[in-house]
Copies of this chain bind each other. A is one copy, B any other.
Amino acid sequence: MSEKVLIIGAGPAGLEAARTVADLGYTAVMVEKRDRVGGTPDEFHYAQLTHHFRDSEEAMNELAAAATASANVELLTSSQVAALEGEVGNLTATIQNGSGSKNIEAGAVILATGFQHFDPGRETQYYNYYSFPDVITIADLEGMLKAHQVVRPSTGQPPERVAFIQCVGSRDRQIGNEFCSKVCCGIASKQAIEIRQQLPDSRVMIFYIDMRMYGYWENELYWPAQEQYRVNYVKGLVSEILPKGDRLLVRGEDTTMGRPMEVVLDLVVLSVGMEPSAGTRAMAATLNIEQNKYGFVAAGGSTRIDPVATSRPGIFVVGAASGPADLDDTFSSAGLAAARAIAAIRRAG
């Protein structure tokens, strides 16, 4: 019998889960395959968050400090879970790192292995991400925004005309990602505002199918982007990107105006969606829990309404490991999973 909670992944979801477990007087053991915490926001040098344009690095540092400062949180970096045996209350995880392997006893497990940005080279060669240096992704752009160095990679100069293309790798049956990635409309709008702040002479357009600015993103991001920052939203389908001198020609259809559209641009940003991370796929197999057809962890089953339950008792899933999630989703589900994990341990004890 162990009262420890094993948390796999030390990004926002894992850190918040660990903090909550510790706050409740239990011990969390975090296993992270990278050599540092912070997850995707850290790895991709996120600039500001959609939460009131909060600095991402600062927010992640606060979160990490809150989690790792506790004597009840143990952190194993550069480590991976190789196996998990036993039942809720009596689980044994085999942890591998460079120097060998060891066993950890735990009562419950929280899987916080997150997502990865869709790779636009995989199926959508027509956007020419890997051929044209000035076609980048929202993940690439985060780093530029953080460094205050938004430039055309081909010239190193600031772009005058920038466009975002939404739903790259999402809502797309051809590549099998029928789901909506939920956050890309908000992220692109936030980034468009940041570009306009950093490059006041720039012009920024967003080509979209539906602008999914749910809840307060509508008033906090979408309206200011249009009214204060003059971001131009165009409901349209982009069919191809071609070279045009040293710039880019975007060709498609403006569906509101019902006419073909051709726009010359300096920088095109692909709003790539979420896919399950390699860690999520690998851990789902290692932990022997059900995945949905997209490879995310199946949460809640077919009848229960439980955003953190997996198919295996005592194993809970948080954040984007079970599908597209924003930071509010991630923090909330981390708290619920921490409570569920402890409740499961209490019942088993």
Contact = CB atoms under 8 A, between A and B. Distances in A.
Contacts of A328: 305, 307, 329
Given A178-B223, A210-B210, A331 B305 contact: yes
Given A180-B214, A214-B212, A215-B180, A52 B303 contact: yes
A286 interface: no
Contact of A339 (B324, B335, B346): B335
A75 interface: no
A100 interface: no
Nearest to A306: B331
Contact of A210 (B24, B212, B332): B212
Nearest to A258: B258
A308 interface: yes
A179 interface: yes
A179 B219 contact: yes
Nearest to A180: B218
A327 B305 contact: yes
Contacts of A332: 307-308, 329, 332-333, 335-336
Interface in A178-217: 178-182, 210-217
Nearest to A255: B256
A324 B342 CA distance: 29
B305 A49 contact: yes
Interface residues of A, number: 58
Contacts of A212: 210, 212-214
Contacts of A51: 300, 305
B331 A336 contact: yes
A251 interface: no
A14 B321 CA distance: 26
Contacts of A303: 52, 54
A120 interface: no
Interface in A212-233: 212-219, 223
A39 to B, nearest CB: 14
Contacts of A29: none
A171 to B, nearest CB: 6
Nearest to A212: B212
Contacts of A336: 20, 331-332, 334-336, 339
Contacts of A302: 52
A54 B211 CA distance: 28
A339 B256 contact: no
A71 interface: no
A59 interface: yes
5 contacts: A20-B339, A178-B223, A256-B256, A307-B328, A308-B332
